[in-house]
């Protein structure tokens, strides 16, 4: 069959660019890779899995008074569409984020990816609907929008996160075209790919803007516990007095990615034509029942056991990982400084940002850093990185690269930066 007979998204750069980058990476297995956005895997142990399963079974018996037969049914049968670890997730959000969340407003999803698809599909009533997203944007969000058929308009990002003046202008422009901006997607803490965070005043201003413009905020929060130093700022959700925020959560970085367990907190009230009220979570659950029925009960049981074992305190559960990411972020920043800082004869030709946490640093090079340059970098110098232009829906980021450091050692980081310096010397 001709590709042109298939849904447009299969040929969309948002869905194909990561495949292309993986292809390049796959051809250079011995290169130092700043490309992979995977969590650190040094602490994984197969023995954890049966222990987590048992811990969750014990939790169901103890806290929910389930009989052994009911526990078996929870593990093996079709399950509750909104999930079976919603109470544990609510407890985690209370302990780690200071959020008061009704467990009924939680939908456990097949990774945060499914949560984004469900929210975008639900908000796509007709072709007038669109969402806005800080640019550069997480490719998973753009891809989810493509699959859901939801148009996305990019909004410039500054050093304080999404640019509010641009956002207001974009919303106004869309309305002037007869379109309907429904929501704004943001990662307020250590955004992927930029590493940028929003200061608290910017968060408050964004919430005010959302209220004034009557749009939802889709807050995605996978990285906030991986902070270099200082206090964790409040989430948008915790500053939100009037239900503007749909909160997207993930256990991919805190527990493990393979489980594919994420969630969405959606306590907005939906009013039917007959006046009956429901939670937005329940409407999302209707869609979920036709996408995946329910999130794998075994996967939920594993994540549930992880939560139970850690008293639902994910920040303390991820102390070791957080230390690795801190160590590596420091190594990247120090390594960049020693190679391209004031002691470098060409000081200023290479610039970078200084995120206070997360997994990513953005470096601006004195030459275009496109896919061809990546291939050259890998082949000639043995170092991989991600061209930032993939995270811009139009042109943008052409001389920028994302350095991801989550799975490396400091030694690998310094070796990789030495190689990057050679690339810079070669192409400068």
Q: Are the C-beta atoms of 349 and 366 separated by less than 8 Å?
A: yes
Task: Give me 227's structure tokens.
Answer: 């902070």
Q: Examine residue 320 and tell whether it contacts a copy of itself (CB under 8 A).
A: no
Minimum CB distance to a copy of itself, residue 266 (Å): 10
**Closest to a copy of itself by CB, 196 or 259:** 259
CB count, 10 Å around CB of 428? Answer: 11
- DSSP code, position 411: H
- Part of the chain binding a copy of itself (CB under 8 A), chosen from 272-280, 305-313, 380-388, 409-417: 272-280
| Cα dist from 369 to 137, 158, 300, 332, 353, whole Å | 18, 21, 41, 19, 17
Distance separating alpha carbons of residues 279 and 325, to the nearest angstrom:
37
Torsion of CA 346, 351, 352, 353, to 10 degrees: 130
Q: Examine residue 212 and tell whether it contacts a copy of itself (CB under 8 A).
A: no
Minimum CB distance to a copy of itself, residue 41 (Å): 6
- Part of the chain binding a copy of itself (CB under 8 A), chosen from 156-164, 292-300, 333-341, 346-354: 292-300
Distance separating alpha carbons of residues 163 and 133, to the nearest angstrom:
11
Q: Examine residue 389 and tell whether it contacts a copy of itself (CB under 8 A).
A: no
Q: Examine residue 222 and tell whether it contacts a copy of itself (CB under 8 A).
A: no
Minimum CB distance to a copy of itself, residue 182 (Å): 8
- Give the position of tokens 């946490």: 357
User: x/- binding map, residues 148-177, to a copy of itself, per CB under 8 A?
Assistant: -x----------------------------
Q: Are the C-beta atoms of 194 and 327 separated by less than 8 Å?
A: no
Minimum CB distance to a copy of itself, residue 221 (Å): 18
Please count the CA atoms within 13 angstroms of the CA of 390 that sit on its side-chain side.
Answer: 28
Say if strands 129-135 and 400-404 run parallel, antiparallel, or are unpaired: unpaired
User: x/- binding map, residues 100-129, to a copy of itself, per CB under 8 A?
Assistant: ----------xx-xx--x---xxxxx----
Q: Examine residue 4 and tell whether it contacts a copy of itself (CB under 8 A).
A: yes
Q: Examine residue 292 and tell whether it contacts a copy of itself (CB under 8 A).
A: yes
Positions in 28-87 near a copy of itself (CB under 8 A): 38-39, 41, 44-46, 49-50, 53, 57, 71-79
Phi, psi of 130 (to 5 degrees): -150, 165
Distance separating alpha carbons of residues 118 and 107, to the nearest angstrom:
10
Positions in 223-252 near a copy of itself (CB under 8 A): 252
Neighbouring residues of 198: CB distance < 8 A, sequence distance ≥ 6: 160, 161, 162, 186, 188, 189, 206, 233
Q: Examine residue 280 and tell whether it contacts a copy of itself (CB under 8 A).
A: yes
Minimum CB distance to a copy of itself, residue 46 (Å): 6
- Part of the chain binding a copy of itself (CB under 8 A), chosen from 99-107, 263-271, 314-322, 325-333: 263-271
Q: Examine residue 136 and tell whether it contacts a copy of itself (CB under 8 A).
A: no
- Part of the chain binding a copy of itself (CB under 8 A), chosen from 87-95, 257-265, 324-332, 347-355: 257-265
């Amino acid at each position: 069959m001709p590709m042109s007979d298939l849904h447009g998204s299969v040929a969309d750069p948002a869905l194909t660019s990561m495949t292309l980058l993986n292809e390049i990476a796959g051809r250079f297995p011995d290169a130092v890779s700043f490309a992979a956005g995977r969590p650190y895997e040094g602490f994984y142990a197969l023995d954890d899995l049966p222990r987590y399963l048992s811990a969750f079974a014990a939790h169901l018996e103890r806290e929910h008074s389930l009989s052994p037969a009911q526990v078996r049914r929870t593990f093996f049968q079709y399950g509750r569409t909104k999930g079976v670890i919603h109470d544990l997730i609510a407890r985690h959000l209370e302990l780690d984020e200071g959020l008061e969340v009704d467990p009924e407003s939680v939908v456990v999803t097949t990774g945060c990816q499914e949560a984004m698809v469900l929210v975008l599909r639900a908000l796509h009533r007709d072709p007038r609907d669109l969402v806005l997203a800080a640019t550069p944007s997480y490719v998973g969000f753009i891809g989810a929008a493509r699959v859901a058929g939801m148009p996305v308009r990019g909004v410039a990002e500054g050093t304080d996160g999404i640019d509010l003046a641009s956002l207001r202008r974009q919303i106004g422009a869309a309305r002037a075209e007869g379109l309907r901006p429904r929501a704004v997607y943001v990662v307020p803490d250590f955004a992927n790919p930029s590493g940028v965070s929003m200061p608290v005043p910017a968060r408050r201003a964004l919430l005010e803007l959302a209220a004034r413009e009557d749009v939802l905020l889709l807050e995605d929060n996978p990285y906030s516990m991986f902070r270099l130093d200082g206090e964790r700022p409040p989430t948008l959700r915790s500053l939100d007095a009037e239900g503007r925020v749909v909160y997207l959560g993930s256990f991919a970085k805190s527990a493990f990615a393979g489980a594919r367990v994420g969630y969405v907190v959606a306590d907005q009230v939906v009013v039917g034509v007959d006046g009956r009220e429901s939670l937005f979570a329940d409407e999302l659950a209707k869609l979920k029942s036709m996408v995946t029925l329910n999130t794998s009960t075994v996967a939920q049981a594993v994540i549930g056991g992880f939560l139970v074992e850690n008293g639902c305190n994910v920040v303390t559960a991820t102390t070791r990982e957080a230390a690795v990411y801190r160590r590596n972020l420091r190594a990247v920043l120090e390594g960049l400084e020693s190679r391209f800082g004031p002691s470098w004869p060409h000081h200023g030709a290479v610039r970078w940002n200084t995120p206070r946490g997360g997994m990513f640093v953005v470096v601006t090079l004195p030459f275009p850093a496109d896919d061809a340059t990546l291939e050259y970098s890998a082949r000639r110098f043995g170092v991989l990185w991600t061209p930032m232009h993939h995270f811009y829906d139009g042109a943008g980021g052409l001389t920028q690269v994302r350095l991801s450091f989550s799975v490396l050692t400091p030694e690998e980081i310094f070796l990789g930066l030495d190689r990057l310096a050679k690339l810079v010397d070669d192409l400068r």
